[in-house]
Chains A and B, each alone.
Chain A
């Protein structure tokens, strides 16, 4: 993934309560963590990977495990893509 890749949330339905999000992807229901909830929320309209990293840093500060923001963001995004919650659109027309 590159910093310019656009990330888009692709869930079928979502329910937010108290900073947590419950999502439906296909027939699978998943409860997202606070950080994943924020990622799904801000990517609803599309956001680049780089912008996402900056946003997460501004909301949550540096990663608690000491890793770099960019690295941590890529790990989280990869998990959400694997779960079907995010999609990587490489260009604006893919949104």
Chain B
């Protein structure tokens, strides 16, 4: 199924001269996305230049290098970066820091959506946001300002007519592009079973080997079809880790979202599977993380506009009041869930879903825990972590903005936050905010009904354990 918004994720690659680096990156990124099964209706990639003459042809040396890599420069004409292009883009990816600064200078409103290509790929790899792609630029914003950019965040600009220089540029662009494609595939919906140009059905007898895990992600039925030689092991791992999200009983009210997941050590099998929209990986661990993202994002996409979805960790008291701790990805929500969930009901480590009447639908998904060994996030089920179950009837008790610091003298500090200022900060953590009816007023009602917004400044998650009941008490 396409994005529920009906809009593609719009990527614009920018360089000083469109006819060189940005065009090169565009003509590499498009086939890289297609190779991973992402189609143009899901992610639209174009390019533009800061100084090009409109309509200029591909730089001959860049074109030669692109062809050598199997790329297709056909039909290219340079586009000058104009306000209309900038306003339409979900993210602008420049080749260098200087170009990024120039884009922001010319178009100040694009500041939060403009990154260097390498910077964006690096941040995606670091933060691994689980949200629709269009929300990623804002979600990556806190991480981007934690360190200054360095020359490593620039794509090498080739000296004209030097093949080695073009080779270096091509290598750097390819690395960034393939890293992005790898992350995006799990975050992109598919249209369902489609083209099978290489006869995948003959290579993989998906029907005989398929094992289906039936999940419910905050009310959205999701069927994960586990295929490939590792399918059975994947099904077992999924069933264990997602134990609190398994769908039981009657057929769902709506058509399930279908995700095909394949574990195989043969790259050809994986490539064929991805071409038909499957999520593939060589190991179960690879797949478990990708699937956590895919299930979350597709469920968010399904419920866009129906409910308020916060990027938040949630725990509940015995009376069913849910405290939603809001924070950007990569800033401690999972650690908090893991710590507090041993004392309070575990609602979610990623997404707190609030209906307009204040009821909360739990999403007790596996926790994504970073392992030092593999630099991957391991998916650990709440049962394995011995997290407490949440009561069956939940309602929003408070929304709390998390402010984790490296060091704090004394106890955590809790403060009331003025509504409007707090919502300015909160907005980036609300999925599909514009799709809500009366977006700002809906969120404000939920917050005011639960006693208003608060912020907690803390250093250690364990310091918040005795404080959780203090947050609650505002729910009607």
Give A residues with C-beta under 8 Å from B. Answer: 12-15, 17, 20-24, 26-31, 82-84
Interface segment out of the listed B39-47, B73-81, B189-197, B439-447: B439-447
Q: Which listed residue, B419, B420, B421, B434, touches A26 by the CB 8 Å rule?
A: B434
With contact pairs A29-B427, A31-B424 given, residues A15 and B444 touching in the complex (Cβ less than 8 Å) = yes
- Residues of chain B with a CB closer than 8 A to A82's CB: 108-109
Q: Say whether A27 contacts B434, CB under 8 Å.
A: yes
Q: Which listed residue, A12, A13, A27, A29, touches B424 by the CB 8 Å rule?
A: A29
Q: How far is the CA of A22 from the CA of B421 in the complex (A)?
A: 8
- Residues of chain B with a CB closer than 8 A to A23's CB: 440
Question: In chain B, residues 422-444, which have Cβ atoms closer than 8 Å to a Cβ of chain A?
Answer: 423-424, 427, 433-434, 438-441, 444
Closest chain A CB from B6 CB (angstroms): 15
Please count the residue pairs between chain A and chain B whose beta carbons lie under 8 angstroms apart in the complex: 46
User: Interface SS of chain B: helix, strand, loop or mixed?
Assistant: helix
Q: Say whether B109 contacts A22, CB under 8 Å.
A: no
Q: How far is the CA of A82 from the CA of B106 in the complex (A)?
A: 12
- Residues of chain B with a CB closer than 8 A to A31's CB: 420-421, 424
Q: Would you call B258 an interface residue if the criterion is a C-beta within 8 Å of the partner chain's C-beta atoms?
A: no
Q: How far is the CA of A29 from the CA of B427 in the complex (A)?
A: 7
Q: Would you call B134 an interface residue if the criterion is a C-beta within 8 Å of the partner chain's C-beta atoms?
A: yes
- Residues of chain B with a CB closer than 8 A to A17's CB: 418-420
Show 12 A/B contacts (Cβ-Cβ < 8 Å), sorted by A. Answer: A12-B439, A13-B441, A14-B440, A15-B441, A17-B418, A20-B420, A22-B424, A24-B433, A28-B109, A29-B424, A29-B427, A31-B421
- Residues of chain A with a CB closer than 8 A to B433's CB: 24, 27, 29
Q: Say whether A30 contacts B424, CB under 8 Å.
A: yes
Closest chain A CB from B132 CB (angstroms): 11
- In the complex, the chain A residue whose C-beta lies closest to that of B448 is A17
- Size category, B interface: 10 to 19
- Residues of chain B with a CB closer than 8 A to A22's CB: 420, 423-424, 440
Q: A17-B418, A29-B424, A31-B420 are in contact. List 18 more A-B contacts (CB 8 A).
A: A12-B439, A15-B419, A15-B423, A15-B440, A15-B441, A15-B444, A17-B420, A22-B420, A23-B440, A24-B439, A27-B434, A28-B109, A29-B423, A29-B440, A30-B424, A31-B421, A82-B108, A83-B109
User: Interface SS of chain A: helix, strand, loop or mixed?
Assistant: strand
- Residues of chain B with a CB closer than 8 A to A29's CB: 423-424, 427, 433, 440
- Residues of chain B with a CB closer than 8 A to A83's CB: 109
- Residues of chain B with a CB closer than 8 A to A20's CB: 420
Interface centre among A23, A26, A31, A83 (most CB of B within 10 A): A31
Q: Say whether B424 contacts A24, CB under 8 Å.
A: no
Interface centre among A12, A13, A20 (most CB of B within 10 A): A13
Q: Say whether A24 contacts B434, CB under 8 Å.
A: yes
Question: In chain B, residues 380-431, which have Cβ atoms closer than 8 Å to a Cβ of chain A?
Answer: 418-421, 423-424, 427
Closest chain B CB from A29 CB (angstroms): 4
- In the complex, the chain A residue whose C-beta lies closest to that of B443 is A15
Q: How far is the CA of A42 from the CA of B108 in the complex (A)?
A: 26
Q: Which 5 A-B pairs have the closest CB atoms?
A: A29-B427, A15-B440, A22-B420, A13-B440, A31-B424
- Residues of chain A with a CB closer than 8 A to B441's CB: 13, 15
- In the complex, the chain B residue whose C-beta lies closest to that of A16 is B420
- Residues of chain A with a CB closer than 8 A to B418's CB: 17
Q: Which listed residue, B134, B420, B423, B440, touches A27 by the CB 8 Å rule?
A: B134
Closest chain B CB from A64 CB (angstroms): 23
- Residues of chain A with a CB closer than 8 A to B108's CB: 82
- In the complex, the chain A residue whose C-beta lies closest to that of B442 is A13
- Residues of chain B with a CB closer than 8 A to A12's CB: 434, 439
With contact pairs A27-B134, A29-B427 given, residues A13 and B420 touching in the complex (Cβ less than 8 Å) = no
Q: How far is the CA of A21 from the CA of B421 in the complex (A)?
A: 10
Q: How far is the CA of A73 from the CA of B366 in the complex (A)?
A: 54
Q: How far is the CA of A27 from the CA of B440 in the complex (A)?
A: 11
Q: How far is the CA of A13 from the CA of B433 in the complex (A)?
A: 11
Q: How far is the CA of A52 from the CA of B163 in the complex (A)?
A: 61
- Residues of chain A with a CB closer than 8 A to B439's CB: 12-13, 24
Q: Which listed residue, A13, A27, A30, touches B438 by the CB 8 Å rule?
A: A13
Q: How far is the CA of A84 from the CA of B440 in the complex (A)?
A: 17
- Residues of chain B with a CB closer than 8 A to A30's CB: 424
Closest chain A CB from B401 CB (angstroms): 14
